[in-house]
Amino acid sequence: MGIKALAGRDLLAIADLTIEEMKSLLQLAADLKSGVLKPHCQKILGLLFYKASTRTRVSFTAAMYQLGGQVLDLNPSVTQVGRGEPIQDTARVLDRYIDILAVRTFKQTDLQTFADHAKMPIINALSDLEHPCQILADLQTIKECFGKLAGLTVTYLGDGNNVAHSLILGGVMMGMTVRVATPKNYEPLAEIIQQAQQIAAPGGKVELTDDPKAAAQGSHILYTDVWASMGQEDLADSRIPIFQPYQINQELLALADPEAIVLHCLPAHRGEEITDAVMEGPQSRLWDQAENRMHAQKALMVALLGLV
Ligand code: CP
Ligand code: NVA
């Protein structure tokens, strides 16, 4: 079935994809990036974002424009959903106007409510639980750099947050070793680790530690994210000393494989979770990673809209 089986589906979490579908989607993203495939559509994408966004908002918009479609900004500050109109009513109404909807929100259950009340595909554009679109672009970037995914070790350092969750699940599905180094009490959710063990491809595994140096040792990819996510801004200052040992700096990077690359979903707090020198250094692939958001999400929309 491959990519065709994705038509009409939702992507609320990375494991909504099967392993085969994820591989097909990554190949489609590569083909769209190289220009081998140039699908065209006149569809309308809605963006309903309860949180700020640069990359996700602009990459979805650019991707849909490149496909020939249109984009509607449904920001809650300019729509009735921001004044309390129920999600189930909003979803049913939007379903009559537009073809596909990307939602950035807090609760995963709100995404499910959108999906339950709309026939069109609903995409998780980041929730407190997961950031699946990010991880598709990350896997595309890693594959471009190493020519493969299975057998590589990716080390995530910092907060066991939404990005960590999707990286763990997506990584093990592709047969990678995902090491996660967090301070105690900031580990990824136990249910995500359990799910990762259930859905891992052969060779895929997750390893948890609170030791950043041991986690970086020999790793092919070092990955980090902010220490306080959107909605946790009040906690940012108090977290700095707790997370300081998990900073990606040149000393930590020196422990990784000599060919290792560095990824960050962005936006970064330079000087906190990652230093300027590493961000600007020769092992950084941050800008390719950001570019791939557009290709990966274009592939996702093409697949969910049944354009291939
Ligand atoms: N990485 C990411 O999702 O960035 P934005 O918050 O700018 O969309
Ligand atoms: N963990 C971050 C990711 C931002 C793209 C957040 O949720 O704010």
d(CA 307, CA 297): 13
- Shortest-distance atom of ligand 1 to CA 52: 6
| Nearest of 132, 105, 141, 134 to residue 33 by alpha carbon | 141
- Nearest ligand atom owner, CA of 264: 1
Minimal-distance CA residue to ligand 1 atom 6 = 53
Instruction: Write down all domains in the chain, each with its CATH number in brackets.
Output: 4-130+294-304 (3.40.50.1370), 134-289 (3.40.50.1370)
Task: Give 84-115 pLDDT, tens digit per residue.
Answer: 999 999 999 999 999 999 999 999 999 999 99
- Shortest-distance atom of ligand 1 to CA 104: 8
133 among the known binding-site residues? yes
Task: Give 29-55 pLDDT, tens digit per residue.
Answer: 999 999 999 999 999 999 999 999 999
- Pocket, ligand 2, Cβ cutoff 6 A: 126, 161-163, 225-226, 229-230, 265
pLDDT band at 21 (very low <50, low <70, confident <90, very high): very high
* Residues listed for the chain: 308
The pLDDT mean for the chain works out to: 98
Task: Give 210-244 pLDDT, tens digit per residue.
Answer: 999 999 999 999 999 999 999 999 999 999 999 99
Minimal-distance CA residue to ligand 1 atom 7 = 54
- Model confidence at 1: pLDDT above 70: no
Minimal-distance CA residue to ligand 1 atom 3 = 56
- Shortest-distance atom of ligand 2 to CA 159: 1
Minimal-distance CA residue to ligand 2 atom 7 = 229
Ligand 2: centre distance to CA 13 (Å) = 15
d(CA 170, CA 132): 8
Integer CA distances (angstroms), 291 to 8, 157, 294, 298, in order = 26, 22, 6, 11
Annotated catalytic sites, by residue? 104, 131, 134, 225, 265, 293
Give the global pTM. 0.98
41 among the known binding-site residues? no
